[in-house]
Amino acid sequence: MYDEALDTIISSGRGRSDVIAILREAQDVYGCLMPPLMEEIAERLGMKYAEIYGIVTFYEHFHCEPRGEHLIRVCRGTACHVRGATGILAAVEKELGVGDGGTTEDGLFTLSTVACLGTCSLAPVMMIDNEYFGKMTPDRVEQVLSKYRDTASVTAEASN
Ligand code: FES
């Protein structure tokens, strides 16, 4: 199943010391690192599945399930929590119909909570891809998300 592309990624001369780069490239090609892919990589590198799984779950960059087109990060850190992060998360969950770690059925959004986004003075904060949204309120959530939904529908129309 993974033969051709994995052959290229795990080219001769690459071994377990290159495991991070190999996992990164495999994720780029396959979209995520599903268990069967991790098993295959482990076998080819002569490593245990548990070792690969440990690496993939340790680094935030890696993910084991398909992700949406846009990654939403809602901060649940202390500064954001005391300024209403719980309400922001509830509003996002309600808008998307998924909880923390979930991906919407249309594949547009994946929701994730994080310990701190590093912009505490703007609390409560959420982030979509590389864009910050500070001093959030639950009422603004729909408006913020609509920008990404509108972009998706324009793109879909243009490709028809
Ligand atoms: S606690 Fe939310 S940005 Fe730091």
pLDDT tens by residue, 31-76: 899 999 999 999 999 999 999 999 999 998 899 888 899 999 999 9
Find the 84 Cα to ligand 1 centroid distance in Å: 11
Q: Does 1.20.1560.10 match the CATH number of domain 70-158?
A: no
Residue 153 binned pLDDT confidence (cut-offs 50, 70, 90):
low
pLDDT at 157: 66
Which residue's CA lies nearest to atom 1 of ligand 1? 77
Task: Return the top range by mean pLDDT from 21-35, 59-73, 130-144.
Answer: 130-144
C-alpha–C-alpha distance, residues 29 and 33, integer Å: 10
pLDDT at 31: 85
Specify the domain boundaries for CATH 3.40.30.10 within the chain.
Answer: 70-158
Helix ranges restricted to H, 10-139? 19-30, 35-45, 49-58, 78-82, 85-96
